[in-house]
Chain A
Amino acid sequence: MRTAPVGVWQGRIIFIIVLVIVTFLGYGTYIFSLQVINATEYQQKAQRVARRVIPIPAQRGKIYDRYAEVPLVMNIPSFAVDIIPAEVPDADRNRVYSDLAEILGIQTEDIRKSIPQRYHHLYQPVEVKSGVTFGTITELAERINDFPGVTWHNKPIRKYLEIGPISHILGYVGRITTEELQILYNKGYDINSALGKSGIEKQYDEILRGKDGERYRTVDVRGRSVVDSSSLDVPPVNGKNLVLTIDSRIQALSEKALGERIGSVVVLKPATGEILALVSYPWFDPNQFYTDKAKEVFTKLSLDPSFPFLNRAIQSSYAPASTFKVIMTTAVLEEEVFPLNKRVTCTGELPYGDRIFHCHRKAGHGSLNLAEGLAESCNIFFWTMGSEYLGVERITEYARRFGLGVRSGIDIPGEIKGLVPSPQWKEIQYNVKWVGGDTMNISIGQGDLLVSPIQMANMVAMVVNSGITFVPHILKEVRDPVSGEVLETVEPKVLQTSSIRKETFKTVQDYMRGVVSNGTARVVITTKAVDVAAKTGTGEVGRNQTEQWSSWFASYAPYKTDDPDEQVVVAVNVEGTNEWEWWAPKAANIIFQGIFANQTYEEAVDALNLWYLRN
């Protein structure tokens, strides 16, 4: 090596050579770690970024009544507008949100809320509004350049063709909440999923929803599809149709028969447990939840003091009052504690301890045997039975044998248990001893005893079927959405069997018939279409005497038949908040007339000559 010219610092040149070599070795090592050691991680990342999955929404199944002709719920075409958060430039975000909110007629805040900061890098579309009309979509499409990251998809909205108390059965569908998603995430729901929120829509959500399909797109940085990946597409599986046990004709009849009175009606087929009608008033219109005013409507309904969201047929319980005397009668007969021809004399009042108990007829019923006691619903008779012949243990045991105090298992969510009090229960609950007065109360269906209308219907079914009840249900069949083929039929499932003798039930049936033929219900059950057997009930509401009376009617018809299939149970409850008009038996009267004379409400009213219901 020659010496470098004067003025050149050779050492410094060598330093630079070393610097170059060291830097290159460092780079080589780093690239080795990227491309060889960590290659898999980056390969997965590259796949993830380039391939996007777009859900193809499945059609939610339709819901039919038992005749499966006209749907009660269907889907109508509509659009949903989405935002792909990562495709909205940060600089434009505010403008895009506010412009979009204006076109969609929603608040900018709502969009912001559905796309929190942590979603901003997401390429998954987030739905900001559904139920958007074709016109609005056209408007958006014309100005699409102003709306980077905004897309839309077909999203039929749920249309409830029958509105009224039936919405308590059908329920409604709403967007999944974050809390619900946490629970349901593993079942294939995502942030855009619709979810049944109540009723059948909730109960059978997994059958109705179907399975969303997947459209694979391999996309470039602007989200444009670059290769055809349609071979990977998974078509959606549409939700299955449901056929309910509800008979639209009877449902409508029952709704009108109850009218605008706060209360509920259960019409049950005792031979199978099928619910033919389930009415609860007041009600809500689920269609309103798909409009712009959804939020206001929802808030208003939630705050309504008459609780329109409450399905009173299964979610409210009341003192059964005199209807409980059916169970008392069964107990007396079965336990043979009181001979059938033995009599009790009702003087209108009964001293017990330091209190005097009054019968509802102040003058007294006179001398009564068991059949007459039930027919006249004499309190003194049953007080005597309860306190002197049966005792609280047997009374509660029989209440349980009739399914009180436990859920019936009906296939709509939210059913309550009701309550059968017992001395132990009272001691735990109130730390107070059970006293004779409590036994007196329970003997006439008062006190702490609580029964829901569906339990009341089951109680009657137990009598009708002579010792067996079936789980009440609303789903009849699951059908294929395309072919209509029946995929699944709900078979009757035994709820309870009773060891009570059949003859006992036969006698109870006769006695219940007596209530209608020559007892308390004689004047109101005027239908000639069928022989009704029943028990009335009038409950005091509140402990202070406010003169409010709730009205029960537990009944079935025909009273005797060779074809159990034609029998129906009708249980009606009218709450004490209504004006007293002893409506429960009157409603049942119309319902029986309608069912068995095959008449509409109007025809039935005419046939029964109910002048006060004619306009």
Chain B
Amino acid sequence: MRNRLFFDFPLLISTASLMIIGILFIYSSGVTSDGWVFSNEYIKQIIWAFLGLGILTALLFFDYNRYRDLSSSLYIGFILLLVITLLIGKRVNGARSWLGVFDFGIQPSEFTKIATMLFLAHFLESRKNSIQKLSTFSISLGIVMLPVLLILIQPDMGTALVYLPIFFVMTLVAGARLRYILFLFIAGMLTIFMSIFPAYTEMLLHRDLVFNDIISNPQYIMIDIVALSIIGIIAFIGYRWLKKGYYYWIIYSLLILISSLLGSVLVRMVLKDYQMTRLIVFLDPGVDPQGAGWNVIQSITAVGSGGFSGKGFLQGTQSHYRFLPQQSTDFIFSIIAEEWGFLGSIIILLLYGIILIRGMFILLHSKDTFGVYVGSGIVAMIFFHVIINIGMAIGIMPVTGIPLMFLSYGGSSLWTGLIGVGLLLNIHLRRYSY
């Protein structure tokens, strides 16, 4: 007979190890090459970690099903908090994303992820029987897009992006129709492509391609849409008369194209120049080696120069000569990789791997759908943070400025991660209780 209070220790220990490594390297990032400690971020991080563990523990005392009942109020509460942040928030790195007094502040956009997950899980569960309907899918999308839009206004593209995998994974697990999910996914990718490609070729090749006009010139876009719509209407009539399945997929594809076109127009309006540049730089850091590409190149250099076993703790040159920007937050993986080498990198990947795989098994053993939905959202969130952040440090993902959960300096992200782990542990703990 298993003990009801038997924790999922691999999950807990991996999380704790990551936090400790995080604190070590936040310390390292605050030391200059001659040994002077110029930053007390590591002390703050220790405080955040203990407080976070407290929150995690507190969460375990209540059955996670209680949070279902709270989910709608939490969701509304955090949406309001996001609005307030937009109005009176503090600007950090260009985004009005902070809410707080004096030095202490939180990023509501982080915690809103949890609230949104809970609320979306609650909603999906309530629509269990009509899960395949478009209306269910649309409302789910609406639930997620509301905070996303508020965060995009801040503007904090990186954090807003995290909501998308959460949405995709949760609806996927809940059983929404694949064609809806694929529609959004493909349309999203195409939108990004159409938004960036013209600017990218212009920056790289210094010439205009005819194709660029087709997808970026407003007049052409009008013509595109009209043409696509006409084809769509004909296909629609055909579908009505002949009831042939391929007419459905023609309309499906056309709709993807039209929405991507409109989406790219919107993206170009919303995206700031520097964000556009960052996306382009991701495609080719060499475009602007001293400007936007600098971070990526320095980070890759730091990682690569670490070698197999690293330069040793506190011995990294790229970090201690401050070639690496935002070492304690966005680029913490680069320092670890530089100072601990390939071994360190693998340890980090393994620890995250344990968390994610354990998380997935917890889902499979959850006693109810709410637990599965919430858990899948949490796994999606952590997974996305890891692949985007590490990918950015090694140069295969765009620089979006999202932190590496548990490792990066910052209370809000750490707490969000710990709350997530707390919820997973909670689901695990109560897998037998009905």
Interface residues of A (CB under 8 A from B): 1-2, 4-10, 12-13, 16-17, 20-21, 23-24, 27-28, 30-32, 34-36, 38-39, 41-43, 45-47, 49-50, 86, 90, 120-121, 218-222, 226-227
Interface Cβ pair total, 8 Å cutoff: 153
B404 at the interface (CB under 8 A from A): no
Q: Which of B33, B321, B357 contacts A17 (CB 8 A)?
A: B357
B307 with A20: CB separation less than 8 A: no
A35 with B173: CB separation less than 8 A: no
B369 at the interface (CB under 8 A from A): yes
B366 with A4: CB separation less than 8 A: yes
B54 at the interface (CB under 8 A from A): no
Q: Which of B289, B307, B376 contacts A35 (CB 8 A)?
A: B307
9 inter-chain pairs at a CB distance below 8 angstroms, sorted by A residue, are A1-B365, A7-B131, A12-B172, A31-B346, A31-B394, A35-B306, A35-B345, A39-B306, A220-B322
Say what secondary structure dominates the interface of chain B. Answer: helix
Interface residues of B (CB under 8 A from A): 32-34, 125, 128, 131, 169, 172-175, 289-291, 298, 300-308, 317-318, 320-323, 325, 337, 341-342, 345-346, 349, 352-353, 356-357, 360, 363-369, 372, 376, 379-380, 383, 387, 390-391, 394, 396
B34 with A13: CB separation less than 8 A: no
B342 with A36: CB separation less than 8 A: yes
A50 with B308: CB separation less than 8 A: no
A5 with B356: CB separation less than 8 A: no
Residues in A with CB closer than 8 Å to B320 are: 226
Most buried by A among B305, B308, B345, B390: B305
Closest Cβ of chain B: how far from A255's Cβ, in Å?
A: 55
Closest Cβ of chain B: how far from A489's Cβ, in Å?
A: 51
Residues in B with CB closer than 8 Å to A222 are: 322
With contact pairs A12-B172, A24-B349 given, residues A31 and B372 touching in the complex (Cβ less than 8 Å) = no
Q: Which of B174, B322, B387, B391 contacts A7 (CB 8 A)?
A: B174
Closest Cβ of chain A: how far from B39's Cβ, in Å?
A: 15
For the complex, give the distance between the alpha carbons of A462 and B393 in Å.
80
Given contacts A13-B360, A41-B304, 13 further A-B contacts (CB under 8 A): A7-B128, A9-B174, A12-B175, A27-B387, A30-B396, A31-B342, A42-B303, A47-B317, A49-B301, A121-B289, A219-B321, A221-B298, A226-B321
B376 with A13: CB separation less than 8 A: yes
For the complex, give the distance between the alpha carbons of A221 and B326 in Å.
12
For the complex, give the distance between the alpha carbons of A50 and B131 in Å.
57
A8 with B369: CB separation less than 8 A: yes
Closest Cβ of chain B: how far from A48's Cβ, in Å?
A: 9
Most buried by B among A8, A10, A121, A219: A8
A20 with B173: CB separation less than 8 A: no
A35 with B33: CB separation less than 8 A: no
Closest Cβ of chain B: how far from A94's Cβ, in Å?
A: 15
Q: Which of A8, A23, A218 contacts B372 (CB 8 A)?
A: A8
With contact pairs A7-B175, A27-B349, A42-B305 given, residues A218 and B290 touching in the complex (Cβ less than 8 Å) = no
Q: Which of B301, B303, B372, B390 contacts A5 (CB 8 A)?
A: B372
9 nearest CB pairs, A to B: A42-B304, A46-B305, A35-B342, A39-B307, A220-B322, A42-B305, A220-B321, A7-B128, A43-B305
B363 with A20: CB separation less than 8 A: no
Residues in A with CB closer than 8 Å to B291 are: 90
Closest Cβ of chain A: how far from B80's Cβ, in Å?
A: 30
A49 nearest in chain B by CB position: B323
With contact pairs A8-B175, A27-B349 given, residues A227 and B34 touching in the complex (Cβ less than 8 Å) = yes
B323 with A35: CB separation less than 8 A: no
A28 with B174: CB separation less than 8 A: no
Residues in B with CB closer than 8 Å to A20 are: 353, 356-357, 360, 379, 383
Residues in B with CB closer than 8 Å to A28 are: 345-346, 349
With contact pairs A5-B366, A121-B290 given, residues A16 and B346 touching in the complex (Cβ less than 8 Å) = no
A221 with B353: CB separation less than 8 A: no
Q: Which of B32, B345, B360 contacts A16 (CB 8 A)?
A: B360
B175 with A9: CB separation less than 8 A: yes
